[in-house]
Amino acid sequence: MEWVKGLQKAIDYIEDHITEDIDYAEIAKQAYSSSFHFQRVFHIICGYSIGEYIRNRRLSLAGTDLSSGNEKVIDIALKYGYNSPESFSRAFTKFHGITPVQAKSEKLTLKSFSRVSVKITLEGGTTMDYRIEKREEFEVIAKVVLSEKAGYEPQAALSGGIYGQRGKCD
């Protein structure tokens, strides 16, 4: 699991240097890896490239700075590595859906892209003793619930009074 610690150390390096010009080789060095391999592993684990992560984090932080401070748009653009207010405005609008001026003056809702924290849990990989037995026929009672709602818990549907109902499954 040393590579997990290395990956987290690299992410910490990115966060500590988010307003600076960040060299990918230096990021990979934090994880004791080559730049090529680190970029591949980062993309596989996180689902986006290092460049996308850095860009999204900078734009998220820039949105926070704009909505909560008195800094000028150009100062924030330069702070987060953009060479011109135009390029910053294009990237900001694409990410947040509103212009930097709107974010500063109208206090509209902004997108947040949170810092990545690597926590990997492995399950399984253990041996288990088992045996196969022949059993007599028995009845199974079931109720099928189909839902596309996010966060829906099927257990709640079972408490709806199906106990005691019997039927034949096809």
Q: For position 42, which CATH number holds?
A: 1.10.10.60
User: How far are the Cα atoms of 34, 42, 55, 127, 164 from residue 27, in angstroms, in the given order?
Assistant: 9, 11, 15, 39, 61
4-42 in b/e burial notation, b at 16+ Cβ within 10 A? Answer: eebbbebbebbeeebeeebebeebbbbbebeeeebbebb
Domain annotation covers residue 132: no
More confident: 160 or 95: 95
pLDDT band at 76 (very low <50, low <70, confident <90, very high): very high
Which segment of 23-27, 95-99, 158-162 scores lowest on mean pLDDT?
A: 158-162
User: Is 16 among the domain residues?
Assistant: yes
Q: How confident is the model at residue 118 (pLDDT cuts 50, 70, 90)?
A: confident
Pick the more confident residue, 161 or 101. 101
Contact 56, 113 (CB under 8 A): yes
Range of the domain at 29: 2-105
**pLDDT band at 4; cut points 50, 70, 90:** confident
Rg of the chain (C-alpha set): 26
Q: Count of domains in the chain?
A: 1
Q: Would 35 be classed as within a structural domain?
A: yes
Does residue 153 sit within a domain?
no
- Residue with the two structure tokens 């702070």: 79
- Residue 89, judged by CB atoms within 10 A of its CB (0-12, 13-18, 19+), counts as middle
Q: Is the pLDDT of residue 158 over 50?
A: no
In a domain, 63, yes or no: yes
Closest CA relative to residue 58, chosen from 4, 100, 25: 100
